[in-house]
Structure 1
Amino acid sequence: MSSYLLPLLRAALLCACALFTPAFSADAAPKAPPPIADFFDNPAFSGAILSPNGKFLAVRYSNDNKRDRLIVIELATNAVKVVAQFTDRDVNRFEWVNNERLVLDSTDKTIGAGDVVYWPGLFAVNRDGSNFRQLVQVSGNFVQEHGVARNVLSADHFLVEQKGAQTSDDVYVTNPKRDGIDQSGDVKYVNLIRLNTVTGRSETVRRPGLARAWLLDHKGEPRICVTRDKNTEAVWYLDPASKEWRRIATFDAYLGGKDAFSPLAFAPDGTFYVLSTRGKDKQALHTFDLATGQLSAEPLVVLADYDFSGSLITTRDKLLGVRYLSDARSTVWFDPKMKALQAAIDAALPATVNLVDVPARAEAPWVLVRTYSDRQPGRYMLYNLDTGKFNPVGSTHERVDPARMAEQELVRYTARDGLPVPAWLTLPPAVPAAVPAAVPAAVPTAVPTAVPTAVPTAVPTAVPTAVPTAVPNAHRKNLPMVVLVHGGPYVRGNEWGWSADSQFLASRGYAVLEPEFRGSTGFGSKHYRAGWKQWGLKMQDDIADAAKWAIAQGIADPKRICIAGASYGGYATLMGLANDPALFKCGINWVGVTDINLLYTGHWSFTSDASAGFLKYGAPTLIGDPVKDAAQLRATSPLQQAARIRQPLLLAYGAADRRVPLYHGKKFYEALKEHNPSVEWVVYQEEGHGWSLPRNRIDFWTRVEKFLQRHIGTP
């Protein structure tokens, strides 16, 4: 192996060794907690993809804090070639066009969202670094870095996330068209364009209406188009026989319905797979008959406690299995050889989730394995099918020591009205003891409850036997705790795995509880719909009930609980302080909504990126109607309730935030500071809806650490 990647491989090998190395003895001197930068720096290694034939590995990597570059490794010889790098920006997304050519776009990891002056552009290059070509401009003021090229598309073109056929030089890009002369308004429709990565020639696909999303079939050809007109969403199918678009379904774009579905993928045999509840509580994986327009009566995969969310795993001629998310990510293999391979890899790596990626047309014995746990950040390894040996590639957080990370588990509690609510509990790591490092009590199990008779029975991956822990009960009792509230709110908050936020807080001695309150998605329609119009009401009760559950379990010290969160989580933080002052001793709100009406009315100083369609057709039902529910929105407005908040509070906002513009924070801070002297206010001028720059992430979490220590930390 070339010395270029040796530092990367050494770090990965150290992580691998940590999985099987005993931790320090019980009488070892306590260590200082891991540095904040270990959690919140940009990763040096950030991605790897096998070529369609499996002979080459493309890697995105930064050496010595320089720009992210694209590297290709020839696996037979371990020859390494840097094929793309820029002096003023970083390689961002990348994908194989075919076995000889790659496509990539760019970003700039040194600036925040407010300082971005160009779009990502698009470039293509051969795997040996030759024939580099710019395909899409990076800004309105186009500058060609590698020579002048013809047929360069304007900057508002973006690579699709789906893989193409990978048998030609073509890829697909999208071109959103927006309202307004300056194209700064809401998206009206999205064009799909076929683009040749060698010549730069492009051809726009004929669309059936106001297209919002596109789906390619397994041959890489456009086959499904989703259109939206006001609040009506329609799904169209491009019939290969007639070459005409045919509408196959319509439903409410924001609220769904019994017959609503989401297109997922086409299998190699042409079967169309979709996601739908089909009138039941849990979303499941179904097939859709394009001839009759009917969903399958029975699902291919349905999970007992979760909505199905996942993807098909295929080669170019066969459906191998399905990858999905329950508490953790898992794979059901329909192919017996892949099922046996998964069992062998799980036996070698028993303490982690191990996700296997296979090349589309394998001509080499390699598969790529992404492995992780609650204590172990993601790392990539190559597995040789002939020798049965692993070859480490890289880790996303090289400096993180799994032995010093905390366990995470999914717990369930009952809200005051009887609704069961899932939550993620992360407890501080134990005083060093003779326990194998990074071995969880058990890797979460993800068992589907139904599979079709047409395919082999879907067996979940092996789950290791629980490993006893040497942590004394006293270590898990009466802890200071942070209730961390996810944003959205109509999304899933978390999954089993390593998380920088919760692991950092746990490393400082705090228990962390992350409730999947009603309205969170992924846990069925009943759980989701129970959150409609419940901002500050039953959604807020769920969060308070989570803290009360932790107190009843003896986990949390009732006098040392802080509530924290971003976006909607910031809103819930403020309402938690107002509604439950005896429960929450302090709060941390970053980029949080402070008044629901501001989502509708906005302000002259900055425009929110919430679409007009969502505000007109979705938000009144999901959040509340600004006219019909005016009294409720006032009662659940942190801005209107500011006088009730007396606890210490940390407020942080991005000056360039378009999701929750800065005026949310400013108005609330002005209303609060008159009667609350314990308010810390910080604005990151170049940031948007969250912190993109390591220096700002490190600064923010340093403030969080000091804030928590002052108010709920151990004396």
Structure 2
Amino acid sequence: MKSKSSVALSAAAAVLGMCMVVGGAEARASNPGAPSARELTRLPGLSDVVISPDGKRIAALISADGDEQLIGVWETDHIDRPPNLLSSKHMVFKSVSFIKNDRLAVVVQQLYTVGNHKGHLGKLFITDLKGEKWIPALPESRSRSEAEDFEKATNNPQILDSLPHDPRRILVVDDNGDVYRADVYSGTAERIERGSERFGDLQTDAKGEIRAKSEIDFEDGKAFYAQWIKNPATGQFEQHFRSFLKDRNIFTIAGFSPDPNIVYVQGVRGGDKAGIYEYDIRSKAFLEPAFEHKVFDSAGVIEDSDGALLGFRYNDAAGSIYWTDPQLAGMTKGLRGALNVKLAPMDWIDPGTGQKVKINVADGSDVAVEAWSQNRDYAVVMKSGPKDPGEYYLLTKDGKLSLLGKARPWIKAETLGDTRLVQYAARDGLMIPAFLTTPPAVFGKGPFPTIVMPHGGPWARDHLGWDVAGWVQYFASRGYAVLQPQFRGSEGWGRKLWTAGDNEWGQKMQDDKDDGARWLMDQKIADPNRTVMFGYSYGGYSALAAAIRPNGLYQCAVSGAGGSLADMKKVTAESRLGREYQRPFVGGLDAIQKAGEAKIPVFLYHGDRDTNVDIKDSRRFIAGLKAANKPYKWLEIKDMGHGYVTMTPAMMETQLVEIEKFFQNECKPGGL
């Protein structure tokens, strides 16, 4: 969808509702070089940069006009030559990867409407390097009914294993769990394993052999997740460890070691943080820790195409890698020096244990080795950070580092805000991590108009990096401070912080956000008379709760796709698994039921193809506001789904523009 038509439709929708227009914004400093909403939300010029296994070619998503994406393919030995371009008039490219030296896997997105069902559909296609032949990941059959039409439309096969040592084939799993060996040249496929309702989460080793799968079962009426592993001696699958869903500590296979009897298992063992452990298959016993971090969760294992261990991921501020491979460790260190990346020490209090430690946090941008050829003669490197949308480099075996391109070269870093990791104490003493972005120097030292911006989920978290939605830097570049609190209930900071949010929706979870606002006010960063809350998804629910709670902290609230606690309870109670894994922990304030008690103006917006949070939730809140004669603004965005992946640049631009208008004209007398 092109920008003009989307903006026109969105603008027309925006006039619906009772809008409280009370005047212009208070005069304050401006930032003439601030990026426009269009510049922040248009498609990046370069993204998804990948390299072929033999290192001879690079592929990436590119966009010249910011609305349409193409796939570019370059030869690494002639990187200065124009790329081959792959395009499609009927499909929107979302990602690209090499599965063979001359074959690409491309995920595309399309709208679907089948009967009363409508939404966004991701589809996986295989193509050559010129885009002359496109084939689906699995052969498609003809449907014979509307039900089969819907099943076919929503079926989205996934690559289970690219089989790097097989010159023609890959493993693909469909929505039924059937596994196929698919020929990427002929488009044919043979089923090698039939799926079942009993088993799922199939995992393969470096040889492409299915070595692990999971099972959901019940014991004394309690659901558990069981890990099954193939015995290397007998070739038979056997059940190993169980994880009861009510405990919310599921142990999973993180990787396979070169020793066929040893696997890596991830989970929490007697502490607050997830670690990665060696596990002996024959004796069914945990061995020594393979990797544990003192204050951050472990997050995965990195191995090469032959199964050799390269490193471990862990969830610090940005998400980092501890390289066990000397070459990759040395490469990362050298790249930081070459690209002038610095790590700064920071005092940190672990929310789980209260332990005080020193941690290192990137001072601005950091570098990551994104991909490499099998012989490591070539590597793709990315430098990025909260005010750096990303720049890509090619590193060759002789140490030459060449700039491939920048994601958003039109963005000027000096016009953006500075983001840092912070902590503050909640009213009950629990330490709350947060990311604080303050405006550029042109706006002075503050206090600033401030946005408290809780993330979605709520079982999720933010990271120290570029905000692909554009929300943070759009407002920071216009003089706002932005706080992203990692409130209790956030996942990825340890079990204590995560489970402290149980049944505290709109209560202690909300207190954490309010305490963050008060902390900023005490620090003279936030202006007490110009502080608001804006969030999307669960963050949108939080904004609705902020409008109701009688704390006087916020001048207005903006809710994108804000959900209903009642609907969340209903959804999590519809399955036996949800009733044990999530439903017991979802409770608190149902903001929609109390919409008439809103004490500040509210702006709600929602996509009409949202299949995660029903648009009816936002409409119900509006109905409550209307009944109580409370001020509000409403925007329904045509064809928008829930996640960022479903949003066109025009949809994202509309959000930024309309939120800013609301802040300036309808939030409070005189605006923010």
Q: CA deviation at 1:337?
A: 2.8
Alignment-derived partner of residue 657 in structure 2: 702
Alignment-derived partner of residue 380 in structure 1: 392
Q: CA deviation at 1:239?
A: 3.3
The 2-side partners of 1:268 and 1:198 are apart by 31
Alignment-derived partner of residue 321 in structure 1: 311
Alignment-derived partner of residue 359 in structure 2: none
> One-letter code of the match for 1:401?
K
Q: 1:77 to 1:30 in 2, by over 3 A?
A: closer
The 1-side partners of 2:446 and 2:134 are apart by 59
> One-letter code of the match for 1:404?
T
CA contact (8 A) 1:98 1:166 kept: no
Question: Which of these residues, 580, 584, 602, is aligned with residue 649 of structure 1?
Answer: 602
> One-letter code of the match for 1:173?
V
Measured against aligned partners, the alpha-carbon deviations of 1:48-75 in whole angstroms (never above 9, x if no partner) come to 1111122221222234457433332221
> One-letter code of the match for 1:104?
V
Alignment-derived partner of residue 97 in structure 2: 95
Alignment-derived partner of residue 491 in structure 1: 460
The 1-side partners of 2:328 and 2:641 are apart by 43
> One-letter code of the match for 1:290?
I
Alignment-derived partner of residue 409 in structure 1: 420
> One-letter code of the match for 1:328?
A
Q: 1:665 to 1:252 in 2, by over 3 A?
A: same
Alignment-derived partner of residue 285 in structure 1: 276
Equivalent position SS for 2:612:
coil
Matches within 5 A, 1:450-461: none
Question: Which of these residues, 625, 628, 632, is aligned with residue 675 of structure 1?
Answer: 628
Measured against aligned partners, the alpha-carbon deviations of 1:279-321 in whole angstroms (never above 9, x if no partner) come to 2111112222222222234x22222322122441435363232
> One-letter code of the match for 1:164?
L
Question: Which of these residues, 103, 106, 127, is aligned with residue 104 of structure 1?
Answer: 106
**Unaligned regions of 5+ residues in structure 2, if any?**
1-28, 145-151, 342-364
Equivalent position SS for 1:316:
coil
Equivalent position SS for 1:343:
helix
The 1-side partners of 2:429 and 2:120 are apart by 51
Equivalent position SS for 2:458:
coil
Q: CA deviation at 1:233?
A: 1.4
Alignment-derived partner of residue 575 in structure 2: 612
Matches within 5 A, 1:511-522: 511-522=481-492
Aligned residues: 600
Q: Which region of structure 1 is more displaced relative to structure 2, 235-244 or 367-376?
A: 235-244
Matches within 5 A, 1:458-607: 475-498=444-467, 500-594=470-564, 596-601=565-570
CA contact (8 A) 1:92 1:105 kept: yes
Query: Is the counterpart of residue 71 in structure 1 residue 59 in structure 2?
Result: no
The 1-side partners of 2:497 and 2:540 are apart by 21
The 2-side partners of 1:319 and 1:274 are apart by 14
User: RMSD between aligned alpha carbons?
Assistant: 3.0
Q: CA deviation at 1:100?
A: 3.2
Alignment-derived partner of residue 428 in structure 1: 439
The 1-side partners of 2:367 and 2:585 are apart by 37
Alignment-derived partner of residue 36 in structure 1: 37
> One-letter code of the match for 2:382?
R
Which structure has more RCO (C-alpha within 8 Å, separation ≥ 6)?
Answer: 2
> One-letter code of the match for 2:306?
R
> One-letter code of the match for 1:556?
A
Measured against aligned partners, the alpha-carbon deviations of 1:378-429 in whole angstroms (never above 9, x if no partner) come to 222101231x332222333332222212111111111111111111100011
The 1-side partners of 2:490 and 2:91 are apart by 36
Q: 1:211 to 1:94 in 2, by over 3 A?
A: farther
Measured against aligned partners, the alpha-carbon deviations of 1:127-154 in whole angstroms (never above 9, x if no partner) come to 4656654443689779xxxxxxxxxx99
The 1-side partners of 2:112 and 2:189 are apart by 33
The 2-side partners of 1:406 and 1:416 are apart by 28
The 2-side partners of 1:109 and 1:33 are apart by 34
Q: 1:600 to 1:336 in 2, by over 3 A?
A: closer
> One-letter code of the match for 1:216?
T
CA contact (8 A) 2:502 2:586 kept: yes
Q: CA deviation at 1:155?
A: 6.8
CA contact (8 A) 1:81 1:128 kept: no
Matches within 5 A, 1:87-166: 87-108=89-110, 119-127=121-129, 132-136=134-138, 156-160=155-159, 163-166=162-165
CA contact (8 A) 2:384 2:390 kept: yes
CA contact (8 A) 1:277 1:284 kept: yes
Q: CA deviation at 1:116?
A: 6.5
The 2-side partners of 1:414 and 1:690 are apart by 31
Q: 1:664 to 1:507 in 2, by over 3 A?
A: same
Q: CA deviation at 1:494?
A: 3.1
Matches within 5 A, 1:257-406: 257=249, 260-270=250-260, 271-297=262-288, 299-316=289-306, 318-351=308-341, 352-359=365-372, 361-362=374-375, 365-386=377-398, 388-406=399-417
Query: Is the counterpart of residue 225 in structure 1 residue 213 in structure 2?
Result: yes
Measured against aligned partners, the alpha-carbon deviations of 1:677-708 in whole angstroms (never above 9, x if no partner) come to 42001112322224612212111211111111
Q: 1:675 to 1:166 in 2, by over 3 A?
A: farther
Question: Which of these residues, 217, 234, 240, is aligned with residue 226 of structure 2?
Answer: 234
Q: 1:614 to 1:552 in 2, by over 3 A?
A: farther
**Unaligned regions of 5+ residues in structure 1, if any?**
1-27, 143-152, 178-189, 432-473, 602-607, 625-632
Matches within 5 A, 1:247-258: 247-253=239-245, 255-257=247-249
Q: 1:597 to 1:405 in 2, by over 3 A?
A: same
Q: CA deviation at 1:354?
A: 0.9
Alignment-derived partner of residue 6 in structure 1: none
Q: 1:420 to 1:66 in 2, by over 3 A?
A: closer
CA contact (8 A) 2:547 2:602 kept: no
Equivalent position SS for 1:193:
strand
Give the strand-richer structure, 1 or 2: 2
The 2-side partners of 1:671 and 1:83 are apart by 52
Alignment-derived partner of residue 623 in structure 1: 586
Alignment-derived partner of residue 181 in structure 2: 194
The 2-side partners of 1:498 and 1:347 are apart by 25
What TM-score do the two structures reach when normalised by structure 2? 0.82
The 2-side partners of 1:166 and 1:69 are apart by 29
Q: 1:321 to 1:90 in 2, by over 3 A?
A: same
Q: 1:579 to 1:614 in 2, by over 3 A?
A: farther
Alignment-derived partner of residue 467 in structure 1: none
> One-letter code of the match for 2:532?
C
CA contact (8 A) 2:456 2:535 kept: yes
CA contact (8 A) 2:264 2:290 kept: no
The 2-side partners of 1:593 and 1:155 are apart by 24
Q: 1:126 to 1:593 in 2, by over 3 A?
A: closer
> One-letter code of the match for 2:491?
T
Q: 1:586 to 1:109 in 2, by over 3 A?
A: same
Equivalent position SS for 1:571:
helix
Alignment-derived partner of residue 245 in structure 1: 237
Q: 1:65 to 1:428 in 2, by over 3 A?
A: closer
What TM-score do the two structures reach when normalised by structure 1? 0.77
Question: Which of these residues, 612, 616, 619, is aligned with residue 666 of structure 1?
Answer: 619
Q: CA deviation at 1:115?
A: 9.6
Equivalent position SS for 1:536:
coil
Alignment-derived partner of residue 5 in structure 2: none
